[in-house]
């Protein structure tokens, strides 16, 4: 029997080659163990509600009413919904053409895009054009749309931080492009050094790669650093000099756990720099309802904003978006609510503020508990999570552990993380899934387990790590970079 078109050997090779570790070997093993009845703590993916975070009440009230518009005329509706949620649902439904069950324009509901533009203007102090804002099914889909427009073949390169969120490596691979890595400096709190960038571009060009775009993730995933204004300026200048599109992944902009470096958008820095660069540099910025204190991952709402992209290109991106008709409309409504939350004086204002503050303050505490927990292990070093939702400790593995991993046919950090999973139920992602320097090992975990569970989880980690070291350490030393 000859082999068939959907047999493994006949699949598109880009499909086979792409890797997405966040739901890779570790996740699959964790899912198996869960099926067998083991208690698993899924910290592999930034999925707050899965770990017990409660949704904010006001947006859920509004979306429930939008889904059940017949309630708006029900005399009893006021018994279960506050008046401002009812008013907001009416307002949002009036922006749709047929409610949540109708496809919207493929760029998203015009009224919501306008509210996004107003949010950006309030945030940055510069006007934003709704025609250059497209709503998406989460930020990931937006990143994929833009990379698809950029990448023409394997000769096209995209600068990506290492360590990086593997959405980028996977998508570049799927689209048949080339990832051009630039290394973040762990000892400099995962800082970005423009000299490294220059070197990466020079090396890629030497290999015949046309470098066309640069990705920054700010705050960093998996690394948690917040970029300073000076750093962002350097990056922007660099992209301008090198004729690169800057892709600003800013999905964690609400997740900040220190006061020294507040979030500042790439767009604001660019606008502050004035002409000619503010009229020239091509920038696409991404945001989502999945992160922040919302954590509404399952709703798949996001947007991207284009700066200095010519109208003809915007049209092409619009055309491609239209093939799948429209992003999901409930997700668009969430985005509308996120950029325009209750205001002082609104009935739901106090509750909204109380709920969102509670989430953020708890995340800040958890960031500290986790960093401190990791740093209390003598073979682990971990930068503080300044922002985002992750801890990315470096684990110094003894040579005997590396040898044992080799024997088991595993990358050393995969070996370590699998042992951790089996021993404790903590499902992490090995550093190799994000990229790391040769011979250095990490893991990524979210800071999302409930605050009250956190001490026990860190104790369980420490106990595992101690036993692991006991087993593999030859009491002479351990590998480090």
Stretch that binds a second copy, among 118-126, 242-250, 384-392, 406-414 (CB under 8 A): 242-250
- In the bound state with a second copy, the residue whose beta carbon lies nearer, of 393 and 449, is 449
Contact positions with a second copy (CB under 8 A) in 168-227 = 170-171, 174, 212-213
CA 33 and chain centroid, separation? 26
Distance CA 46, CA 289 (A): 12
* DSSP H/E element including 196: helix 194-206
- In the bound state with a second copy, the residue whose beta carbon lies nearer, of 325 and 481, is 325
**DSSP assignment letter at 101:** G
Crossing angle of helices 110-124/83-95, nearest 10°?
110
Contact positions with a second copy (CB under 8 A) in 54-113 = 55, 57, 60-61, 63-65, 67-71, 74, 76-77, 79-80, 96-106
Of 209, 151, 148, 149, nearest to 181 by C-alpha is 209
- In the bound state with a second copy, the residue whose beta carbon lies nearer, of 286 and 294, is 294
Stretch that binds a second copy, among 39-47, 227-235, 439-447, 470-478 (CB under 8 A): 39-47
Site size toward a second copy (CB under 8 A) is 105
**Which residues, at least 6 apart from 171, have a Cβ–Cβ distance to it below 8 Å?**
18, 143, 144, 147
Distance CA 382, CA 308 (A): 38
If one asks whether residue 282 binds a second copy (CB under 8 A), the answer comes out as yes
- In the bound state with a second copy, the residue whose beta carbon lies nearer, of 298 and 425, is 298
Nearest approach in angstroms of CB 378 to a second copy is 35
Please pick, from the candidates 16, 38, 343, 406, the single residue that binds a second copy as defined by CB under 8 A: 16
Contact positions with a second copy (CB under 8 A) in 297-316 = 297-300, 308-310, 312-313, 316
If one asks whether residue 439 binds a second copy (CB under 8 A), the answer comes out as no
Residue 294, preceding bond cis, omega within 30 degrees?
no
CB 293 within 8 A of CB 267: no
Of 358, 328, 298, 352, nearest to 62 by C-alpha is 352
Stretch that binds a second copy, among 145-153, 189-197, 346-354, 377-385 (CB under 8 A): 145-153
Nearest approach in angstroms of CB 1 to a second copy is 8
Please pick, from the candidates 33, 51, 93, 369, the single residue that binds a second copy as defined by CB under 8 A: 51
- In the bound state with a second copy, the residue whose beta carbon lies nearer, of 48 and 412, is 48
Stretch that binds a second copy, among 42-50, 226-234, 361-369, 467-475 (CB under 8 A): 42-50
Distance CA 49, CA 366 (A): 16
CB 422 within 8 A of CB 33: yes
């Amino acid at each position: 029997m000859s082999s068939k078109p959907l047999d493994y050997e006949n699949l598109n090779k880009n499909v086979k080659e792409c890797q997405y570790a966040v739901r890779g070997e570790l996740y699959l093993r964790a899912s198996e163990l869960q099926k067998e009845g083991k208690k698993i703590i899924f910290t592999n993916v930034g999925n707050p509600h899965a770990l017990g975070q409660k949704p904010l009440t006001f947006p859920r009230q509004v979306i429930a009413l939008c889904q059940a518009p017949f309630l708006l005329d029900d005399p009893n509706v006021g018994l279960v919904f506050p008046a401002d949620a009812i008013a907001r649902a009416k307002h949002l439904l009036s922006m749709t053409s047929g409610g949540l069950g109708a496809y919207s324009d493929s760029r998203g509901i015009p009224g919501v895009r306008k509210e996004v533009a107003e949010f950006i203007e309030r945030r940055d102090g510069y006007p934003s054009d709704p025609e250059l804002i497209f709503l998406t099914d989460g930020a990931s889909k937006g990143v994929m749309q833009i990379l698809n427009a950029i990448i023409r073949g394997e000769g096209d390169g995209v600068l990506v931080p290492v360590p990086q969120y593997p959405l980028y490596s996977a998508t570049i691979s799927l689209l048949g492009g080339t990832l051009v890595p630039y290394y973040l400096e762990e000892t400099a709190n995962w800082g970005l050094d423009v000299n490294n960038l220059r070197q990466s571009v020079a090396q890629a060009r030497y290999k015949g790669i046309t470098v066309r775009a640069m990705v920054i993730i700010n705050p960093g995933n998996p690394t948690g650093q917040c970029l300073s204004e000076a750093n962002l300026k350097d990056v922007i200048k660099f992209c301008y000099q090198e004729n690169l599109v800057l892709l600003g992944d800013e999905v964690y902009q609400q997740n900040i756990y220190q006061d020294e470096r507040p979030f500042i958008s790439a767009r604001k820095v660019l606008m502050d720099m004035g002409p000619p660069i503010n009229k020239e540099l091509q920038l696409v910025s991404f945001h989502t309802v999945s992160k922040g204190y919302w954590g509404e991952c399952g709703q798949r709402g996001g947007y991207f904003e284009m700066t200095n992209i010519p109208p003809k290109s915007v049209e092409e991106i619009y055309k491609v978006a239209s093939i799948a008709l429209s992003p999901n409309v409930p997700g668009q409504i969430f985005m509308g609510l996120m950029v325009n939350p209750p205001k002082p004086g609104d009935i739901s204002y106090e509750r909204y503020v109380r709920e969102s503050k509670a989430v953020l303050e708890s995340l800040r505490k958890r960031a500290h508990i986790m960093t401190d927990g990791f740093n209390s292990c003598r073979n682990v070093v971990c930068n503080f999570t300044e922002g985002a939702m992750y801890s990315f400790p470096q684990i110094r593995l003894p040579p005997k552990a590396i040898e044992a991993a080799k024997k088991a046919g595993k990358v050393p950090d995969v070996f370590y993380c699998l042992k951790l999973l089996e021993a404790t139920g903590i499902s992490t992602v090995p550093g190799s899934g994000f990229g790391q320097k040769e011979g250095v090992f990490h893991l990524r975990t979210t800071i999302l387990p409930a605050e009250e569970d956190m001490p026990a989880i860190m104790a369980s980690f420490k106990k595992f790590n101690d036993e692991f070291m006991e087993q593999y350490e030859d009491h002479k030393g351990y590998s480090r970079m």
